[in-house]
Amino acid sequence: MATVRDTILAFPALDECEEYLEKVVLPNRSLDGAVEYTPSKDMKSVNLAAADMYAMIGNNPDFTENKLSVTWSSVDFLKTAARLYRQNGEPEKAEELQPKKRPIRLTGRAKYTS
């Protein structure tokens, strides 16, 4: 059977983030990555851990993998993280991922030419 750690790393694009999972996500979520994954017990915490990882990846620039030119969009990672946060009871974290709207301030005078 798969462990909690293996289950998190099985999410798309997360298999390259083992160090971040081990050093940051598992301790912050108080998860033991070595225990056997039980969907009825661990699904919510595993989804939230994956959301944490997608949020981290989403704050990096877009990147391309291998010669096949598979491009991973940071926007898609942030959307996935927000969805997982909302579905698993942490909507406030989903809101933190939304881009902040900044007011537009215009200065100077517009010139009309015909």
pLDDT at 92: 93
Grade residue 105 by pLDDT with cuts at 50, 70 and 90. confident
Residue 61 region by backbone torsions, left for phi larger than 0, else alpha for psi between -120 and 50, else beta: beta
Name the average pLDDT for the chain.
86
pTM value is: 0.70
- Assigned token pair, 30: 């108080």
Residues 58, 77 contacting (CB under 8 angstroms): yes
The span from the CA of 70 to the CA of 68, in Å, is 6
69: pLDDT strictly greater than 80: no
